[in-house]
Structure 1
Amino acid sequence: MSAVRDLVDETASALGWSGSVTPRVGWEEVERRLRTPLPADYKRFMARFPSGLLRDVLRIFNLVQSRTSLTRVVQDFEPAREVVGRHRDEFDSYPPFPEPGGVVPFADDTAGGLLGWLPWTPDPDRWHVVRLSGNPVAGWTRTRRSMTAVVRELATSRSDRNVLGWDLAARDRVFEPFDGYA
């Protein structure tokens, strides 16, 4: 867990973020409502970051921050699942959760893309991150990295060598919490 803590701390440092989150909802309730276990690194990240916008490119929603936040994410979960399903139907790609091996969404980008876990093993701590581009023809980018590794990469990127494939050199390294999720 020390490596995960280091990734989360490196991400916070790169973004100039010193805050933390006091959970208002337990992880057992979150996993029950989503009907899936979640990776430990994601839980560690959510202890540090509230719902917000990372470098003006990635929207992350904290499920334990408040009941309001959890309700909003659960409501958004179905449309994200439908996007994955439509893409699978058109391009014969990954299935949507809760189908076996179905992508579990956890964030989205500001161009309409989706980031999620590819549950290729029953152990959520071994799940890799995938990204579905907002441009359906561009399709999927599969990584072999954890959520915290992918987010740290976005926080520190000075080029287009990141899961989004976007040149982030000119983007401020900042994390902006969303209003209304507390």
Structure 2
Amino acid sequence: MAREFIIALRNTFSLWLLTALIYPFLIIFFGQVAFPAQANGSLITNNQGQVIGSALIGQSFNSERYFWSRPSTTNYSEGKDAAPTGVSGASNLAPSNPDLITRIQKETQRLQQAGIKPTADLVYTSGSSLDPHITPEAAQAQLERVAKNRNIPVEKIQPLISQNTDGRFIGIFGEPGVNVLKLNLSLDKLQNPSG
């Protein structure tokens, strides 16, 4: 009995060492060597080296001078008295839920008032509510508004949409998407190249 207990204890310790320490640290080392930017969150910095966001996490843009992101159900806890809740996840409201219907109607009305043809991704949230991309069609729908509010010709902004569009993963999976944070940063650089 004591011999079996020692064998079981040794096996448990060996598996723990392998799965809880060796394997995770090996993966961390591989990630840092092969894909350091991605392993550290695909962070985007400004000219001063300050982190201003991640290429993987959507941000809220409300100004008429920027392309708007998808709506989000995530509370980013803005304000000094807000509790930090930046939790990922959808609202889990059923399609027949009056709160969801009201939110969609308000979002559609806001887009129409801004002169934007509502597209699905500008009206509905994503599953994680943190999606950093919009469809190229959603970016095109906002092009006139952004150009007008920045007093820049549409022809100068159009190439930025193409430059910030991520294609399908390995050419076959998913759909092309425009990274809104990168697009808006490109807009700022277009107007202020030194900033």
For the superposition of Structure 1 and Structure 2, which TM-score range results when normalised by the shorter chain? 0.3 to 0.5
Higher helix share: 2
Give the TM-score taking structure 2 as reference length: 0.31
Bigger RCO of structures 1 and 2 (CA < 8 A, at least 6 apart): 1
Look at both structures and tell me which one has the larger radius of gyration over its CA atoms: 2
Give the TM-score taking structure 1 as reference length: 0.32
